[in-house]
Each structure stands twice: as structure tokens, then as C-alpha cells.
Amino acid sequence: MDAVLDTSAERFTPASERAEALFQEHLFEVHRRADIMFAILMAVQWVFGVVLSLVVSPWAWEGKVRSVHVHVYAAVILGGLLSGLPIAMVMRRPGWVANRYVIAVSQMLWSALLIHLTGGRIETHFHVFVSLAFLSFYRDWRVLVPATIVVAADHLIRGLLWPESVYGILFPEWWRFLEHAFWVLFEDIVLVFACLNGAAELRAATERRAQVEILSEIDRTKTEELATALEALEKSQEARMRTEKLAAVGQLAASVGHELRNPLAAVRNAATYVQRRVTDPRFAGQPASADPKVAEFMQLMLRELDASSKIIADLLDFARERKPAMNPCPLHPLVQEALTVIPQIGVRVVNEVPEDLPVPSLDKDQFRQILVNLIQNGMEAASGKPDAQVIVRAEGGGGRAPWVIRIIDNGTGMPREVLEKIFQPLYTTKVKGTGLGLAVVWNVVHAHKATIEAKSEEGKGSQFIIALPAAAGAAAAE
Amino acid sequence: MTANLRASMNWAPKPRAMPDQRIRPVHWVIGLVWLVAVLACSVLLWRYKSAPGPAGAAPPRWPVESTIERSHEEPTLLLFAHPWCPCTRASLGELAVILSKANGHVKAHVLFDRPASESDDWTQTDLWRSATAIPGVTAHVDGDGVEAHRFGAETSGHVVLYDASGALLFAGGITNARGHAGDSEGRRAVLSLIATGKANRSVAPTFGCTIDKPELAEKR
């Protein structure tokens, strides 16, 4: 396995870089939201300005003759200009840096226009200060600069060209400009601090988030590498199992060769005798059927060929790894089917599987094979006892409960050291066994994602318990 | 198991592309054009608001033919108003300030112009109600603008102030722009004249709608 977990911090984006990116991202969001708020405010101010002019000063009079008041034109045209550009800019590119500067200029000019439309009411002058406060929503102190310049320029230009419109008198004292500017600057100073503090808090928050993200990224990378390592491990295990299996098959071939040699030698001897009996001229006129040895040897040949066939079948079962074809299959009839292929001599086999048990999904042929193997093992263990019996039981399968299938015999039982090895390939305690029967059972059970457990008590019998997962039921129900 | 682990990794944050923040020359041009248009409209508005209305010559002595009763103990102030002129709302506001500061040392009359063809109802506007709500003010209907003509008032918001002897102290407006409340040279002068009998000026421009003088009506 070459996957090595490397979680050193150098592999990840530095927290400061990520914090800066997050800060810019959040700040952009703040600007975007403030832009939208001001776009709405611009529209509201425009409507308000027009309504105000229509209510307060709709007409200008010359005696009995009236004409539309200049305030109405100012509200519609000048107000439209003031609101139109910021709204268009925000609609096109919300969050753009130019928006807030145009909005700052426009908002302060709106203050001047509203002051005109309300007839210079002192209360409307609060619009200037409220607007400055609103502009601080951008958390960008630089926005206050054009806003303040507009207020100052308005006072300066009008103070020079038309002083009475600002100060009410033609020749104001030189410091009157400072008096007006002082209050604006006073608010500016407070708002600049508020903007700087807001930005600092935002930066601190983004730095914390960046740290958390980096840690999460390390964690995520760990998880990813762990997943890769596990995948490699799974592949390695599969390869090892294949190698072991090939080794087992090789070992088995030797064992099978050895096992087959004896019956084949016996068959050859018997066949040689039968051949000689049939072809030797010395036996001419004496029918082979009259020779009792011919019948005996023929019987022997059949028995030994059966034994050889069994050895080869077991080998094939073990070596051939077929993916189970899962289909709904009721258990009671399956057990009954298995019993029909097992000659029951001297041992009573009882199928106690309820007929109304929920139906699992499994490979019918493979599962019948493991039932046959286990029942045959039980019968062999119990044979010779006067009340020898093998019982097959099953339960569960409802909802999330797994199916539990038990094959119980009252045979000789197994000692602990045998019990630990019974599922190993080629391990057998029988004189004529290949040691593959239970290994095949183990493979099939695990191919069904099920588990198998063996319990045994010497002199009392053994019990094999197969637990078939509830998922098999869900698959069957589909 | 590895599939579960991989599925748990899908939350990873994705970097967000920041939009282009550049300001191009064309944007500066658009901004400049907008600013020029706004300034042009503002200048037009200022010019309109700061353009005083016409003013006739106020008689230096209280005209004996006037039907308004002049006070012989303290100065008498007359304000001529067009009942529908929105700009005059600011003049009435300034009058209220003057009267509150004068502390009862002036008699004030507001004369609402009524063209010959209209009934007195034409003068019953919110301005009339505002004027009558100011303590110490007596409102009159000036039929055909006779009194306005008599005192040389041609613009709504025009004020004349005569002392107890009937001599003219001040003639002009008491706002600094058309329909614009706030301190003004005219208001300062009137207050000073009421308080001390002296001021650095005796005239000021009047900002408001034109009053329907008989001569003007004939011209129209």
C-alpha cells in the first residue's frame, strides 16, 4: 500500500490568503446589499419628491393664471436624474465599486433637492445626516469623502454665489462655513470609526472562518486519503484472497490427485479383472455373470467412481466463484428440495421452517447446496445413534429482523480445536473427506452478505446458524 | 465504506469568482455627463428660486385712503399675499418668527388678494388659515388688490413696515428665496426696526408669485 496520510499544513492554502478571499467576498456582499437598499431608497425618494411637489407646490401663480410650479419639474427631471443613474448601475452591476460613489453623490444632492422641495424646512436638513449614516452601511469610509465633498461644495459654491440661500444673509461671517462643516465632519469622524470597526470585525470573523475551513480541509483530505487507503487495502485483500485461493487450489490438486489415485487404482484393478474375465480364452464358454467376482468388482468400480466424482464436484464448487443470482425464494420448500437429494438412512431429518415465513432474496441453487452440505454433515455426525436426527429451523425476516436459519444435529459434536478450523479449506476430520464442503458453505454464505456461526458440544451435537441480512428481504419485496 | 467516506466529502467550499470591479474611461464619461446634467438642472432651479418678483414703490407715508387701521402706538406691518401661492407659506412662517420675537410690539395685517372676478371664497385657502393661526395677525381680503396697489406690493410675500407716526421703515420680502424658509436680510431688518427703529437696510427683494394688480390684469 503506497497511500501515506500527509496532513502537514503546508499542503493547504494559507489561512491568511483564504481569510483575505473570504473578507473580500463578504465585503462584496455587504456592498451588494447596500447597493440594493440604496436603489430602493432612490426610487422611494423620487416618488416621494414628485408627490411632495404635487402636494406642496403644484402651481405657480401670476394673479389668476397658474402654471406648473418649477418644483414639479425639478422633482420629475432632476429627481429622475439623481435616482436614475444609481438605480441603473445597481441593476446592471450590484456591488460594483463605482455604484457607491455615485450613490453617495446622488444621495447628498437628494438632500439639497428635498430641502428645496420642502421650502427650506430645517427638519429636512436632517436628511443630510441620515444619508451620511446610511452611507456608512457600506463599511467603506471612502464613500463618505465624496458625500462630504458634495455637502461642502454645495455650501462653498452657494455661499460664494448666493450666500443668503445657505446662511440667510448676504455677508455671513467667514467662520459660518466652518460651523456648518463642523457638524458634518463630526458625524463623518464617528462614521469613519464605525466603518473601520465594522471592517475590522468582519476581517476577524473571516479569519476565524478561514481557520475553521483550513481545519475542515485537512480533515476532508484525511478522509479522502483514508478512503483511498481503504480502497487499496480492499484491493490488496482481494488479491491476497485470490493468491491464497490459487495456493489452496494447487494444494487441493495435490490432495485430489492423491485422493483420486486410490479409487482409480481400485477401478483399474477391477477393470483389469473384468477385462481378463471377458477376453481370456480360458474362460470361453463361462459367462461373466456366472462369476460373482465380476459383479463385486463392477459394484466396487461404481462406488469408487462415485467417490471420485464427489471429490471433483467439491473441487469445482470451491474453485468456481459465481456471483449469486438473487431472487425471492421461500425457505420451507427450499429445505424440502434439499432433503429430496439426500438419502436419509438411519437419521431422521425434520424441516421445521414455518411455511409462512417472509420470503428472502437469495441464489436458490447455491443456498440449496449449502443446506445439502450442512444437513449431510449433521447426518454423518449423528449417524449411529439410536435417535439420530437433524432439525432445520428458521425464524425472523419481518421488517428489519434478519433471517436466522439453524441446522441442528444431536451427533457427536466437535472439540473446540476442530470447531475453530472447520471452515478452512482442506481441513477435514473425515476419512474420506476433501475438506471443501464447509469452505464452500462459507464462501456462498459470504457471497450472500450473510454470516455463519458454528456451535458444538461434544457428545450432544452441533448447530450451524446462518444469519441472512434484512436487506435480502427488501430486495425480495421489490 | 469508501463510498460513504467519499460521499461525506462533497461539502467542500467552492471558491467564488469576484466580479470585475474596474472603472473604465467610458464610465467616467457617463458619470461626468450625469454630473453636468444634474448641475445644470440645479442651477436652473436656483435661478428660479433666487429670482425676485416685481416690486412697486411703497409710499413713504401711510396712505390716508387706506382702509387698514394703522397703530399709533407701535409699528404696523402689512404682508400682501396671493392666497394660492405656495411660496408665501415660507413668508408666513417668517412672519410668525418675527411676531414671536417682536413680543407684541407690532401690529400685523395679512392682506389676501382677490381678483375682481372672484368671490371672497377664493381667498379661503390653507394660507388664510395659516395666517389667522398666527397670534396677533389680522387677515383681510384685498378686493381687486386695491391695498396692494396702494402700498406698491406686486409680489406675494411683500412686507411694508410703518412706524407709529406713519413713516415707512421697510419695504420688501422677508425670505431669502422663493418659498425658502430661514434667516434672511429682510427678516433681520424688520426685527431690528421693530426693536430699535434702526436697521442697515430698508428694502429687500421679495420672492413669490405675482399679485393680480389691476394694471397687470389689464395688460393680460
Q: Could you tell me which residues are beta bridge partners of residue A350?
A: A391
Reported for A47-53, long-range contacts at CB under 8 A and 24+ positions apart, including other chains, are A49/A75, A49/A79, A49/A110, A49/A113, A49/A114, A49/A117, A50/A75, A50/A76, A50/A79, A52/A114, A52/A117, A52/A118, A53/A117
Element at B131 (helix H, strand E): helix B126-133
Cβ atoms of residues B99 and B134 within 8 Å: yes
How far apart (Å, rounded) are the C-alpha atoms in residues A91 and A36? 8
* CATH number for A398: 3.30.565.10
Residue A24 near chain B (CB below 8 Å)? yes
What are the tens digits of pLDDT across the range B72-101? 999 999 999 999 999 999 999 999 999 999
pLDDT at B19: 80
Chain A residue numbers with beta carbons less than 8 Å from the beta carbon of B216 are 62-63
What are the tens digits of pLDDT across the range A54-81? 998 899 888 888 899 999 999 999 999 9
Element at B78 (helix H, strand E): strand B76-81
Chain B residue numbers with beta carbons less than 8 Å from the beta carbon of A20 are none
pLDDT at B200: 87
Whether residues A377 and A285 share a domain: the answer is no
Chain B residue numbers with beta carbons less than 8 Å from the beta carbon of A220 are 9, 11-12
**Domain range holding A309?**
239-319
Closest among A113, A138, A143 to A128, alpha carbons compared: A113
Chain A, residues 95-134, CB within 8 A of chain B, namely: 95-98, 102, 105, 109, 112-113, 116, 119-122
Q: Which triple of cell numbers denotes residue B84?
A: 394660492
Q: Cβ–Cβ of A98/B23 closer than 8 Å? A: yes
Whether residues A391 and A430 share a domain: the answer is yes
pLDDT tier at A475 (50, 70, 90 boundaries)? Answer: low
Chain A, residues 28-87, CB within 8 A of chain B, namely: 28, 56-66, 69-71, 74, 77-78, 81-82, 85
Query: How close, in Å, is residue A153 to chain B by CA atoms?
Result: 12
Whether residues A260 and A293 share a domain: the answer is yes
* Predicted confidence (pLDDT) at residue A240 exceeds the cutoff of 50: yes
Q: For residue A473, what are the CA distances in angstroms to A363, A369, A453, A468, B117?
A: 13, 21, 21, 9, 102
Residue identified by cell 473580500 is A24
Q: Is residue A3 part of a domain?
A: no
Q: Is residue A303 part of a domain?
A: yes
Whether residues A194 and A67 share a domain: the answer is yes
Whether residues A107 and A171 share a domain: the answer is yes
Chain centroid to Cα A205, Å, comes to 30
| Helix %, strand %, coil % of chain B (to 5) | 35, 20, 45
pLDDT at A465: 94
pLDDT at A170: 61
Q: Is residue A228 part of a domain?
A: no
Positions of chain B with pLDDT under 70: 1-16, 212-220
Whether residues A175 and A254 share a domain: the answer is no
DSSP summary character for residue A425 = T
* pLDDT, mean of residues A118-125: 82
Q: Cβ–Cβ of B35/A105 closer than 8 Å? A: yes
Q: Comparing A1 with A363, which gets the higher pLDDT?
A: A363
Q: For residue A199, what are the CA distances in angstroms to A28, A194, A313, B181?
A: 12, 8, 80, 41
Element at A234 (helix H, strand E): helix A176-279
Q: Is residue A51 part of a domain?
A: yes
Of B9, B84, B181, the CB nearest to A120: B181
Closest among B218, B193, B162, B171 to B52, alpha carbons compared: B171
How far apart (Å, rounded) are the C-alpha atoms in residues A31 and B70? 65
pLDDT at A273: 87
Query: How close, in Å, is residue B70 to chain A by CA atoms?
Result: 27
pLDDT at A7: 46
Whether residues A300 and A364 share a domain: the answer is no
Q: Cβ–Cβ of A25/B18 closer than 8 Å? A: yes
Q: Which residue of A has its CA nearest to B188?
A: A169
Q: Which triple of cell numbers denotes residue B116?
A: 375682481
pLDDT tier at A174 (50, 70, 90 boundaries)? Answer: low
Whether residues A310 and A332 share a domain: the answer is no
Go through A156-187 and write b for each residue having 16 or more CB atoms within 10 A of its CB, e for each that does not. eebbeebbbbbbbbeebeeebbeebbeebbeb
Q: Comparing B2 with A177, which gets the higher pLDDT?
A: A177
Q: Which of A223, A251, A273 is the last residue of a domain?
A: A223
Residue identified by cell 412662517 is B93
* CATH number for A305: 1.10.287
Cβ atoms of residues B163 and B197 within 8 Å: yes
Q: Is residue A197 part of a domain?
A: yes
Chain A residue numbers with beta carbons less than 8 Å from the beta carbon of B213 are 63
pLDDT at A306: 84
Q: Which of A193, A223, A253 is the last residue of a domain?
A: A223
Q: Which triple of cell numbers denotes residue A174?
A: 467667514
Question: What does pTM read for this prediction?
Answer: 0.61
Whether residues A163 and A267 share a domain: the answer is no
Q: Which residue of A has its CA nearest to B48?
A: A70
Q: Is residue A234 part of a domain?
A: no
Chain A residue numbers with beta carbons less than 8 Å from the beta carbon of B87 are 57, 60, 119
pLDDT at A168: 58
Q: Is residue A467 part of a domain?
A: yes
What is the predicted ipTM? 0.85
Of B15, B84, B93, the CB nearest to A61: B84
How far apart (Å, rounded) are the C-alpha atoms in residues A391 and A351? 6
Share of chain A above pLDDT 70, in %: 90
Q: How many domains does chain A have?
A: 3
pLDDT at A2: 43
Q: Cβ–Cβ of B184/A96 closer than 8 Å? A: no
Closest among A376, A335, A12 to B12, alpha carbons compared: A12
Closest among A303, A301, A295 to A277, alpha carbons compared: A295
Domains in chain B, CATH or no CATH each: 76-219 (3.40.30.10)
Q: Which of A180, A196, A223 is the last residue of a domain?
A: A223
Query: How close, in Å, is residue A223 to chain B by CA atoms?
Result: 7
* Predicted confidence (pLDDT) at residue A232 exceeds the cutoff of 60: yes
Share of chain A above pLDDT 90, in %: 34
Residue identified by cell 466603518 is A195
Report, in angstroms and rounded to the nearest whole number, the Rg of chain B calculated over CA atoms. 29
Whether residues A73 and A91 share a domain: the answer is yes
pLDDT at B97: 94
Chain A, residues 130-169, CB within 8 A of chain B, namely: 158, 162, 164-165, 167-169
Q: What is the largest CA-CA distance in chain A?
A: 163
Q: Which triple of cell numbers denotes residue A84?
A: 436614475
How far apart (Å, rounded) are the C-alpha atoms in residues A60 and B18? 52
Residue identified by cell 430602493 is A40
Chain B residue numbers with beta carbons less than 8 Å from the beta carbon of A219 are none
What are the tens digits of pLDDT across the range B145-170? 899 999 999 999 999 999 999 999 99
Of B12, B117, B185, the CB nearest to A164: B185
Q: Could you tell me which residues are beta bridge partners of residue A469?
A: none
Whether residues A206 and A251 share a domain: the answer is no
Chain centroid to Cα A308, Å, comes to 51
Q: Cβ–Cβ of A234/B9 closer than 8 Å? A: no
In A280-363, which residue ranges form alpha helices assigned H by DSSP?
292-319, 331-340
Q: Cβ–Cβ of B13/A169 closer than 8 Å? A: no
Q: Is residue A427 part of a domain?
A: yes
What are the tens digits of pLDDT across the range A245-259? 777 777 767 777 777
* pLDDT, mean of residues A104-111: 95
Whether residues A25 and A163 share a domain: the answer is yes
